[in-house]
Amino acid sequence: MSHLPKKTTRRTKFWMIQRRSNRSSLVKVSKKSEKKRIKKQQKKEKAKNQVKQPVQDDLSQEERARLKEEHRKRKEQWLEDLKTSPRIVIDLDFQELMRPNEVSSLVQQVMYSYGCIRRAEKPLRLVLTSVKDEVKTKLEKIKGFDSWLRFESDIDKVVEQEDGFHYPHDKIVYLSADGDETLEDLKKDEIYIIGGIVDRNRYKFLTLEKAKRLGFRCAKLPLELVKFHGSRVLTVNNVIELLVRFNTSADWKQVIQESVPVRKIDSSLCVCRKQDNSNAAECDAK
């Protein structure tokens, strides 16, 4: 067996080192891009949550008092509506199946979900279950998390202790793309569960199997009302936004068209939304 010349061996080693260096650079760029994306999403969500208020210096004392009273009444009404609103549970009992970056993504989705409900005209009552380990550590970094309704117990224990009332299993609906029934309405005396998992569709029938194991009903959202491109898998905050909008409008087709990311929906369809203080309309893909 002939040996390669030293010159060739050195060149081979050089290119091997170069490849390793390139791979390392790609990984660094990928991580940097992911951080930028998350930061951009956080800024967007923060801007969304900021409600524009009139400049206080330009208002008279009477106007300030009136605005303060209006705000107080809106808050009181919102809290009153919350008492009788449908309950939405995010089941966070799947973190052992997720990679670290997927856990981080899930926490972001939960944060967006909470913000969406806080901004809702008609609120839904959001409850988090199985809040523990890494998910809990990351959630605790969110400002105001201490005031969120949450439990360390799994979902089956929570539905038994919620308000000291035992919910019949036919009043508990686990939302899943594999559900054997289609969700038609949101009822005040029912609990709706969303599986809190980011798995890039690795695990099939995960939420369906859990619902069956616990004896809960399992239903899918009526996504067939709109033509999709590819997968109909939605993020946790996408589902929350759908439910929040439906709780106000009760029109599934319109809600899906307005809530689902544009890239997932047939662009040949379009729903026009009137812009505030303008007769113009903004068209988004349905």
Nearest to 228 by CA among 198, 259, 201: 259
Q: Which of 136, 45, 149, 46 is nearest to 92 (CA)?
A: 136
Instruction: Give the active site residues.
Output: 199
Name the one residue in this structure whose structure tokens are 């990679």. 99
Element (H, E) at 261: none
**What residues have CB less than 8 Å from 108, skipping those under 6 apart?**
38, 41, 42
Selection from 88, 86, 91 nearest residue 213 by Cα: 91
DSSP state of 26: H
Residue with tokens 């806080």: 118
| Phi, psi angle pair for 221, to nearest 5° | -75, 150
List, in sequence order, every beta strand (DSSP E) within 94-223.
125-129, 172-175, 181-182, 191-195, 217-220
